[in-house]
Amino acid sequence: MKKNEVMKKLEEKIKTCKKCPLGELRTNAVPGSGSYDAQIMFVGEAPGYWEDQKGLPFVGRAGKVLDELLEGIGLTREEVYITNIVKCRPPNNRDPTEEEIKACSPYLDKQIDVIRPKVIVPLGRHSMAYILKKFGFEPEPISKIHGKTFEAKTLFGKIIIMPMYHPAVALYRPQLREELEKDFKKLKEMLKELS
């Protein structure tokens, strides 16, 4: 089966999923968006209000920040793939629970297997902890390891993991926007080396 067909099937499954209580509370599930051939996959934590309304990832204020950061290194949303660990919005935008992550993460695992990105950028601490543990690394505080790279071996080759602050951080702590911009510049350099 072609990559497109596999991804479309998976997205349909996500949209009708009821594996955890969030499935009953959502307006729309948010499978992800972007290129199925993306070299870079951004993984956030969970959809917020606007994502739940539109069924698309990162369309609220944090999404605008992400768009600006991508633009700053010459990329568009259409060239990358953007998703979350948890595909439905937790009530009041609270953090996803361990149970929700456990129920939902197989979808993310499958997305990684199908897209086969060269780089995974976990955005935020829950995303970072899940991705690092999945590939056998010990998570540390994001303030310590954002912008650092971890090389993981997979069945389809190596993947570089580069944790970053969640773009929402730039809205609440504007001084961290600079850190995000620096990390995105590192990402741009790394892409040059990979191509």
14: Cβ contacts below 8 Å, ≥ 6 apart: 29, 31, 87, 107
C-alpha distances (whole Å) from 122 to each of 5, 19, 95, 189 are 25, 23, 15, 18
pLDDT of 63 reads 95
pLDDT of 192 reads 87
**Inter-residue contact 167 to 84 (CB < 8 Å):** no
**Inter-residue contact 114 to 156 (CB < 8 Å):** no
pLDDT of 146 reads 95
3-state secondary structure the chain: CCHHHHHHHHHHHHHCCCCCCHHHHCCCCCCCEECCCCCEEEEECCCCHHHHHHCCCCCCHHHHHHHHHHHHCCCCHHHCEEEECCCCCCHHHCCCCHHHHHHHHHHHHHHHHHHCCCEEEEECHHHHHHHHHHCCCCCCCHHHHCCCCEEEEECCEEEEECCECCCCHHHHCHHHHHHHHHHHHHHHHHHHHHC
pLDDT of 93 reads 86
CA angle in degrees (0–180, nearest 5) for 23-111-18:
15
pLDDT of 194 reads 80
pLDDT of 1 reads 74
pLDDT of 195 reads 72
Q: Domains plus CATH for the chain?
A: 3-194 (3.40.470.10)
- Point out the residues of the chain with pLDDT beneath 70: none
Q: Is the pTM of this model over 0.85?
A: yes
